[in-house]
């Protein structure tokens, strides 16, 4: 099987890099299989505290691989279930930071939206151009984008297929931070290093609780938050964090 990604561990960060530079990291079946498996392995590794998902300078990913879909029938697309597996990304516990440079289009933008914190180069470009191919987003784009930016902006992006700049994406609430072009990867790594200093269980429950906001009523969400908040008082890290504050020193979290 071709190696469509590169993985690396730096400090306690599991890095997954899409690696089809000649095809602007277009997401084919093998690449997505490898991305999901690599993220799952890092998620299960007790030495890893967060993951960093990235592409290269020219593209995070320019979408699903059009050549893999061009001649497919409806039944074939249904059986391939190409993107059904993406729910496994949603089920990961540890935070995922996306480092984005260049294009994040179609399935690439959808993959980016599966991440928790998105750091983008000021030169990055985003969009859901599927309409130009006679299709619509199919890996969660219509739902995640709408929840992220609201109906007016989502309709505009999905029905016109237009590309937007990083500044526009930031203003819409699609991405977390925009940084100078040459700093996109280092800045994302810096955010990951910062996450590595936090209490790991609190990080994971924080991620789970924010994600819950997309799926529940306000009352249910607040109830869920309350339970997870109380749960954290069963961790050594809560004791350490509060004791460190009282003793005016830096907390050292052990992850239990």
Active-site annotation, residues = 64, 107, 110, 130
- Cα separation, 98 vs 177, whole angstroms: 11
**Residues in contact with ligand DAK, shown as a per-residue x/- string from 16 to 55 under the rule CB under 6 A:** -------xx-x-----------------------------
Residue placing its CB nearer to ligand DAK in the complex, 83 or 253 = 83
Among 31, 32, 115, 139, interactor with ligand DAK by CB under 6 A: 139
User: Contact between 164 and ligand DAK (CB under 6 A)?
Assistant: no
- Cβ neighbours around 219 below 10 Å, total: 8
Which of 4-12, 43-51, 128-136, 194-202 is the region at the interface with ligand DAK (rule: CB under 6 A)?
128-136
Q: Are 140 and 86 contacting, i.e. CB atoms less than 8 angstroms apart? A: yes
Minimum distance, C-beta of residue 154 to ligand DAK, in the bound complex (Å): 16
Torsion 145-55-46-242 (CA) sign: negative
Among 41, 67, 160, 216, interactor with ligand DAK by CB under 6 A: 67
- Cα separation, 227 vs 161, whole angstroms: 41
Among 16, 35, 51, 64, interactor with ligand DAK by CB under 6 A: 64
**Residues in contact with ligand DAK, shown as a per-residue x/- string from 81 to 120 under the rule CB under 6 A:** -xx-------------------x-xxx-------------
The torsion angles phi and psi of 245, rounded to 5 degrees, stand at -60, -45
- Cβ neighbours around 184 below 10 Å, total: 26
Residue placing its CB nearer to ligand DAK in the complex, 95 or 106 = 106
Q: Are 17 and 8 contacting, i.e. CB atoms less than 8 angstroms apart? A: yes
Among 62, 113, 120, 166, interactor with ligand DAK by CB under 6 A: 62
Residue placing its CB nearer to ligand DAK in the complex, 104 or 175 = 104
- Cα separation, 107 vs 61, whole angstroms: 8
Torsion 224-226-229-230 (CA) sign: negative
CA angle, corner 43, sides to 139 and 228, nearest 5?
A: 90
Q: Are 254 and 197 contacting, i.e. CB atoms less than 8 angstroms apart? A: no
Minimum distance, C-beta of residue 116 to ligand DAK, in the bound complex (Å): 21
Structure tokens at 237: 């890290």
Minimum distance, C-beta of residue 86 to ligand DAK, in the bound complex (Å): 8
* List of residues contacting ligand DAK (CB under 6 A): 23-24, 26, 62-67, 77, 82-83, 103, 105-107, 129-130, 133, 138-139
């Amino acid at each position: 099987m071709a190696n469509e990604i590169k993985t690396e561990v730096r400090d306690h960060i599991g890095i997954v890099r899409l690696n089809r530079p000649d095809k602007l990291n277009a997401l084919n079946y093998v690449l997505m299989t490898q991305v999901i498996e690599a993220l799952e392995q890092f998620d299960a590794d007790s030495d890893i505290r967060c993951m960093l998902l990235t592409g290269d300078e020219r593209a995070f990913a320019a979408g699903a691989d059009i050549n893999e879909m061009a001649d497919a029938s409806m039944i074939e697309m249904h059986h391939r279930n190409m993107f059904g597996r993406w729910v496994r990304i949603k089920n990961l516990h540890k935070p995922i930071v996306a480092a984005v440079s260049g294009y994040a289009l179609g399935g690439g933008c959808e993959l980016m939206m599966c991440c928790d914190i998105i750091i983008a180069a000021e030169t990055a470009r985003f969009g859901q151009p599927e309409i130009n191919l006679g299709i619509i987003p199919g890996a969660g784009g219509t739902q995640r984008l709408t929840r992220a930016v609201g109906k007016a902006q989502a309709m505009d992006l999905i029905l016109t297929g237009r590309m937007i700049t990083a500044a526009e994406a930031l203003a819409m609430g699609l991405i977390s931070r925009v940084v100078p072009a040459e700093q996109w990867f280092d800045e994302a790594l810096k955010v990951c290093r910062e996450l590595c200093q936090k209490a790991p269980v609190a990080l994971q429950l924080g991620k789970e609780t924010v994600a819950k906001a997309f799926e529940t009523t306000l009352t249910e969400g607040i109830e869920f938050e309350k339970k997870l908040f109380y749960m954290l008082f069963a961790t050594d890290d809560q004791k350490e964090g509060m004791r460190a504050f009282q003793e005016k020193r830096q907390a050292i979290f052990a992850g239990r």
